[in-house]
Structure 1
Amino acid sequence: MSEDVLQGMENSAASVLMRAVELDHNSRFEDSLICYQEGIDLLLKVLKGLKDETKKSYYRQKIEGYMSRAEQIKKHVSQQKEEGKYHKQIRIEDNATGYSYEKLFKPYLNEMVYEVWVQDPYVRLVHQLYNFLRFCEMLIKGPCRMKKINLLTTLEDGNGKGQQLSALDDIKKSLMTYGVTLEIAFSNSIHDREIRFNNGWMVKIGRGLDYFKKTESRFAIGYCDYDLRQCYETTVDIFHAKHTKALSS
């Protein structure tokens, strides 16, 4: 390994580990754990390329320290989940990309998930109904073994009511072909937006499922792939509790 490559790797490791410490101090433990692991991997590669024994000893001590802290964070996060005290917050900036439903929800889905409760007052307009459909598609693809989806939303007024009911009925029939039941309830007094899974995870999004901006045309990048779609500014709060209760209907 050349000196330039080695130096570049050392600089990258230092940068990533500084970020890990910063996230750690701000109690963003899962994000810091990712950075610690990445930084440790880089330092291990640096260690293999070093010839100076003094420098090797220095990096071994550093690696041991970072590994010890990473292990502490793992235990802390695991304990928080067990005690129902876990909380992670994601801030989506205006016009940000890379926040598809898969990106947000997949880390919290596993084979234990078979039921979900969606409370969102805005599953009414055409684009909002498509958002809900995309969310259902994500659940169908796994790894969860979905059996039932519960939706609590508001009923559209006027001419839009028929369109909303027709679309939801189509989604319901389509889900049935995959062995999934869609239970729909309406309430005109709900305001909160939250999604609960039977494995204990709960996700609250300020804008609900409707946090994507409209593309310039149907043939613009991001129209099909939501990871490339620009977002509205919103906050995502993720919690874990021992027992998930169904949303009130």
Structure 2
Amino acid sequence: MTQNSVPGMEASAVSILKRAVELDNNSRFQEAIVCYQEGIQLLLDVLKAVKDESKKTHYREKIKCYMERAEQIKSHLVQEKEVGKYHEQIKIAEDATGFSYETLFKPYISQVLTEVWVQDPYIRYTHQLYNFLRFCEMLLKGPCKVKNIHLLTSKDDGENSFQQASALTELKQSLQTHGVMLDIQFSSTIHDREIRFNNGWIVKIGRGLDYFKKPKARFQKCLLFRFAIGYWDYDLRQCQETTVDIFHTKHTKTI
């Protein structure tokens, strides 16, 4: 890293650490840790590049302060997990952005994660099937080694029944080529939405995986909105209002 790149790196660190403090103050501890870690790493990179000793001292003090807070949060979370009382709530506002599956689930996907249970009655229509596909892709790109994904959803008995069956079959075959087994079960009575990870995390989303709005396009007759911002990058797509509850338990049960 050159001296010229230091201001940009420092600005990025400040922005991320400011976000970490906001999350921390709102008791969104797991997300705060991720931001603290990213911001601290950026400051460490800046520290290596600067020559001024007074600035080095300043950065060292900041890094120490943020590291101590991150460790305090980690200790708190470990305590909460041990007694099975961890609970974090995220409220996604109407039209909010920045809540892709990667962003929302990243803090809870660890290297020991190997199995996932998804209970969502609405994996039927085209956009819902694509949502589930992107959720699976997110798992494959994560640090985890997922080997089994279980989906419990409702069967579409209407005109979309063939599309639902063929899409899920194709996805199952595709996942197999990546060493992942997809188990699909149907129920006509399920209503609740829930995602369970075998590393102990449980995520309940009021709207399930279908909390995104259609991307805005100038020509509303455009069926797929492929050339509208937010079509591919879900972090840029507006959301519908919903609540996300995250729990941790040492005794996770399968669905």
TM-score (structure 2 length as normaliser): 0.75
1:226 to 223, 226, 234: 234
Structure 1 letter corresponding to 2:233: D
Task: Give the structure 2 partner of residue 213 of structure 1.
Answer: 213
Equivalent residues of 2:84, 2:250 under 8 A apart: yes
Q: Structure 2 CA distance, aligned partners of 1:158 and 1:26?
A: 44
Q: Alpha-carbon deviation of 1:92?
A: 0.9
Cα deviation 1:109-154 (Å, max 9, x = unaligned): 1221111000000000010001001111111223111111100000
Structure 1 letter corresponding to 2:228: A
Q: Call closer, same or farther: CA 1:68–1:171 in 2, change over 3 Å.
A: closer
Q: Alpha-carbon deviation of 1:29?
A: 3.9
Q: Alpha-carbon deviation of 1:24?
A: 5.8
SS of the residue aligned with 1:242?
A: coil
Q: Call closer, same or farther: CA 1:78–1:133 in 2, change over 3 Å.
A: same
Cα deviation 1:210-240 (Å, max 9, x = unaligned): 0111112221111111111111111111111
Larger radius of gyration: 1
Structure 2 letter corresponding to 1:74: K
Task: Give the structure 1 partner of residue 250 of structure 2.
Answer: 242
Q: Structure 2 CA distance, aligned partners of 1:220 and 1:85?
A: 42
> How high is the sequence identity, in percent, across the aligned residues?
64
Q: Call closer, same or farther: CA 1:123–1:64 in 2, change over 3 Å.
A: closer
Q: Alpha-carbon deviation of 1:65?
A: 8.3
Alignment of 1:55-66 (within 5 A): none
Q: Call closer, same or farther: CA 1:199–1:29 in 2, change over 3 Å.
A: closer
Equivalent residues of 2:121, 2:190 under 8 A apart: yes
Q: Call closer, same or farther: CA 1:104–1:49 in 2, change over 3 Å.
A: same
Q: Give the unaligned 5+ runs of structure 1.
A: 1-8, 51-55
Task: Give the structure 1 partner of residue 187 of structure 2.
Answer: 187
Q: Structure 1 CA distance, aligned partners of 2:143 and 2:65?
A: 35
Task: Give the structure 1 partner of residue 178 of structure 2.
Answer: 178
Q: Alpha-carbon deviation of 1:82?
A: 2.3
Alignment of 1:1-249 (within 5 A): 20=21, 27-30=27-30, 49=54, 71-215=71-215, 216=217, 217-247=225-255
TM-score (structure 1 length as normaliser): 0.76
Q: Give the unaligned 5+ runs of structure 2.
A: 1-9, 48-52, 218-224
Q: Alpha-carbon deviation of 1:91?
A: 1.1
Structure 1 letter corresponding to 2:99: Y
Q: Call closer, same or farther: CA 1:63–1:129 in 2, change over 3 Å.
A: closer
Q: Call closer, same or farther: CA 1:169–1:28 in 2, change over 3 Å.
A: closer
SS of the residue aligned with 2:116?
A: strand
Q: Alpha-carbon deviation of 1:87?
A: 1.1
SS of the residue aligned with 1:239?
A: strand
Q: Which moved more, 1:138-147 or 1:181-190?
A: 138-147
Q: Call closer, same or farther: CA 1:107–1:162 in 2, change over 3 Å.
A: same
Q: Call closer, same or farther: CA 1:104–1:188 in 2, change over 3 Å.
A: same
After superposition, the CA RMSD in angstroms is 3.5
Q: Structure 1 CA distance, aligned partners of 2:102 and 2:33?
A: 21
